Amino acid sequence: MKNIIKNIALLICVSVFFSSCETIDYGDTNVNPGGPTAPVTSQLLTSAQTSIPAIAVDEKAILYMQHITQGQYPGSSRYETLTANYNGWYTGPIVNLNEIIKLNEDPATAGAAAAFGANENQIALAKILRAYYLQYMTDRWGYLPWTEAFQGIDNPQPAFDSQESIYNFMFAEIESALGMISGGAAPQGDVLFGGDMDQWAAFANNLKAQMAMRISDVNPSLAKSKFEQAVASGMLVTDNADNIEFNYGSDETSDSPWEDNFQTREDYIMSVTMIEWQRANLDPRLFEYAEEARDSVFPTPNFPGGIDAGYVGAPNGAVNGNVPDYSFITSDIIYEKQYPSILFSAAETHFKMAEAAMKGWNVGGGTAAAHYDMGVLASMDYWGVDTADAAAYLAAHPYVGIEEIAYEKWMALYLQGPEAWAEWRRLDLPVLTPSPFASTQQIPTRDAYDAAVESNNKANYDAMVAAQGPDTIYTKLWWDVN
């Protein structure tokens, strides 16, 4: 009888428990009253743009190009970085840009997203910036998962897209973006241009011209068409007043990566390649690019009056332990939090136009020689070189052909590592001597994939290798045919 009573009591308790669960309304107990009730696209955009400095100050690419080298720890200068992981780009800025596009395209969310700028302008901006990131990525690794990417558990092992197809996608994205820019409300959260869509149109056309020149040796007809479109837009940067730069903040979360690099350490010093070429050519940019060494002088200066004696370059890839023996990057770059980084410059544009004119493309006027001259003078002007000194240098180093264009472009792209590295790979100029301290006497031509790519996606990895070539840092990319 006692057991029966206990069972009945237990049954009553369970019944009461379940019935009470069905009737209790917890309301908004788990809702943060201070949080947003819909996705805030302005925050997604700001977050996506915080990755621009990683491209603007890509130290490894700058080291490969021998603008600078390293002090006590010369690993990257010896090409010891054998693999690199692209996951952070997918899970960071690109997924944020994808979400901006999705929220502004979906009729169910477009209305709420419009609170942060006209839908079409937000989509256009996100597409342009996504193409900028994607070009950087494909110019590092080559083939990338793209068409089948971002599907989560529905497709955890996406196929790789060829670099050619990725370039075709980027061109289409830029055309789409330029076609939808409107006079509607400016996108909020834009730390690069403050929502100015004319500036984004200029950014897109300069990016298009850059991409066109990149593929000029492997698909000259498409390159010519896209480059001439960019020229016809009238938006290419041809004057230093219009240079497109990334401006940094004054706090530790938004300041210049160079200032952060030199806050507690002195790991980067001027390369002997850069210093000695400038010395040999009496290039007045020497005194603007670098600082005098603190503890040494060069024994055989070349400038009149020996004014270059204090400028000393370090051997590429050596253990340059006593860094005060060598010149540093100019102090306003490495010690000022807000010194901006160039993304597109007048000098770079004129060197592209010089090469385009040399190829017979329509550049809207001006010969290859004229644009070469304007490129050299624009670089000199940007760095504050006296006009008389700039004119004297140009008179001593006139245009002859592609070798002069390539050299002056390499010089003008000082500290712009990704673009300098890409153009050096495309042109095989200027001729750089690999570090004698490297185990392989060859400057890398790409980044190899992180080992997890092969282990987690082997079938598609193997197909990619069969198409692109061995997964090493010395395999050439699709557009690198010279």
Same domain for 318 and 413? no
Lowest mean pLDDT among 16-30, 331-345, 456-470: 16-30
219 Cβ neighbours under 8 A, 6+ residues apart: 164
- Assign residue 182 the CATH number of its domain: 1.25.40.390
Same domain for 269 and 319? yes
Question: Of 180, 178, 196, whose CA–CA distance to 188 is shortest?
Answer: 196
Provide the strand spans (E) within 318-428.
341-344
The pLDDT of residue 32: 53
The pLDDT of 164-191, averaged and rounded, is: 98
What 8-state DSSP symbol labels residue 194? Answer: T
Cα dihedral 182, 183, 185, 187 in deg (nearest 10) = 50
Provide the strand spans (E) within 21-176.
68-70, 144-145, 160-161
Q: What is the mean pLDDT of the chain?
A: 93
Q: Which amino acid is at 337?
A: K
pLDDT(31) > 60: no
The pLDDT of 189-218, averaged and rounded, is: 98
Strand partners, 244: 344
Residue 10 within a domain: no
Q: How confident is the model at residue 1 (pLDDT cuts 50, 70, 90)?
A: very low
Same domain for 304 and 397? no
83 Cβ neighbours under 8 A, 6+ residues apart: 447, 448, 449, 450, 451
Q: Which amino acid is at 163?
A: Q
Residue 426 within a domain: yes
Q: Which amino acid is at 170?
A: M
pLDDT(229) > 90: yes
Residue 24 within a domain: no
Residue 11 within a domain: no
Same domain for 310 and 364? no
Same domain for 366 and 454? yes
Same domain for 241 and 263? no
The pLDDT of residue 16: 34
Residue 2 within a domain: no
pLDDT(9) > 70: no
Q: How confident is the model at residue 2 (pLDDT cuts 50, 70, 90)?
A: very low
The pLDDT of residue 424: 98
Same domain for 219 and 149? yes
The pLDDT of residue 3: 44
The pLDDT of residue 39: 77
What is the number of structural domains in the chain? Answer: 2
Residue 304 within a domain: yes
In percent, how much of the chain has pLDDT > 70? 92
The pLDDT of 304-325, averaged and rounded, is: 98
Please tell me which residue, 184 or 38, carries the higher pLDDT value: 184
Same domain for 420 and 317? no
Out of 334, 368, 387, a domain closes at 334
What 8-state DSSP symbol labels residue 476? Answer: P
Same domain for 234 and 151? yes
Same domain for 270 and 374? no
pLDDT(409) > 50: yes
pTM of the model: 0.92
Out of 299, 334, 369, a domain closes at 334
∠ Cα 397 358 245 (to 5°)? 70
Same domain for 102 and 232? yes
For residues 139 and 421, what is the distance between their CA atoms, to the nearest angstrom? 9
Residue 252 within a domain: no
Residue 480 within a domain: no
Domain carrying residue 326: 258-334
pLDDT(250) > 80: yes
Take residue 50 and report the two structure tokens written for it. 């915080």
For residues 283 and 296, what is the distance between their CA atoms, to the nearest angstrom? 21
Same domain for 130 and 234? yes
Q: How confident is the model at residue 19 (pLDDT cuts 50, 70, 90)?
A: very low
The pLDDT of 235-259, averaged and rounded, is: 97
∠ Cα 67 68 69 (to 5°)? 135
Q: How confident is the model at residue 33 (pLDDT cuts 50, 70, 90)?
A: low
Take residue 59 and report the two structure tokens written for it. 């130290």
The pLDDT of 389-406, averaged and rounded, is: 98
Out of 334, 353, 379, a domain closes at 334
Long-range CB contacts (< 8 A, 24+ apart) of 177-182? 177/123, 177/124, 177/125, 177/127, 177/128, 177/131, 177/204, 178/124, 178/204, 178/205, 180/120, 180/121, 180/123, 180/124, 181/120, 181/121, 181/124, 182/118, 182/120, 182/121
